Amino acid sequence: MFKIKKQSVKPKPTILYNVIEDYSEFNAPGNVMACAMTHQEDLPAHAKVLSESYEIPLETMTTLLTEGGVYVYPQIGGLLTRGLFACVIGPTGGVPKQTFVLDLMQFAEAEQMARARSLAILDAAFHVFTRTLPDELKTKLQQKNLGLDYRTLDRAVAKGGDIKYIDFRKDWSPHLNDFVLCRMVE
C-alpha cells in the first residue's frame, strides 16, 4: 500500500515593501526611509503593521489606508505629547498613496498653517512634511515612480508596475521585521 504525503502548506511571508530608499542620514525631521511597493497592496497586513508600529487602533488604520485622512494622537494627562499620522490618497492613476508621521512641532506648524490659510489639516500636514524632506527626495517625489529606471531593477520589482503606495518611515519597530522582506534599491 502506498501512502500519499501531503505537502505542508506554509503561508508565504507578506512582502510589504519592495523598494526602499534610505534618507535617515539627514537631520530630523527630514530623516526618513521611503518604503514603497510596486505590487498590489495587501491591506490587512499593511494596516496591521502600521497599526502596531504607530500604536493606532487597527480599525482606524484600515479606514485611513482606505479613505485617507489624519489620526491625531490623544492627549495624555491634558497634554498632547505626540503629533499625527496621515495618509494621503491622490487621484487614481496619479500620485501613489503616501503615509507619514508628524512630530509635535510639525503638527503645531501644520495646525497653524491650516488655520491661517483655511486649509484642511491633511493638506497642511502634507505641505509641512514635504517641506522638511531632503532635496533629493523632494525631486524624486515629483517624478513618476520616484524616478526609478525599471530597466535596471530586479525583475520581481519591475513586474509589479507603478508604485502603489509609499510609507515614509522614521521607525523600524520590532513588528515590522516579521512582515517585511525588503529589497534595497539605490
Domain segments of the chain as ranges: 19-173
- Judged against a pLDDT cut of 60, whether residue 172 lies above it is answered with no
Q: Which residue has the higher pLDDT, 82 or 56?
A: 56
User: Which pLDDT tens digit goes with each residue over 109-133?
Assistant: 999 999 999 999 999 999 999 998 9
8 A C-beta contact, residue 182 and residue 20: yes
- Judged against a pLDDT cut of 60, whether residue 179 lies above it is answered with no
Q: Report which listed range, 90-104, 112-126, 157-171, is most confident.
A: 112-126
Q: State the pLDDT at residue 162.
A: 81
Q: State the pLDDT at residue 38.
A: 85
User: Which pLDDT tens digit goes with each residue over 30-48?
Assistant: 788 888 888 888 999 999 9
For residues 26 and 28, give the distance between their C-alpha atoms in angstroms, rounded to a whole number.
7
Q: Which residue has the higher pLDDT, 155 or 61?
A: 61
User: What's this model's pTM, rounded to 2 decimal places?
Assistant: 0.80
Q: Counting beta carbons within 10 angstroms of the beta carbon of residue 31, is it exposed (0 to 12), middle (13 to 18) or buried (19 or more)?
A: middle
pLDDT category of residue 20 using cuts at 50, 70 and 90: confident
Q: Which residue has the higher pLDDT, 182 or 98?
A: 98
Cβ within 8 Å of residue 53, ≥6 positions away = 169, 171, 173, 175, 176
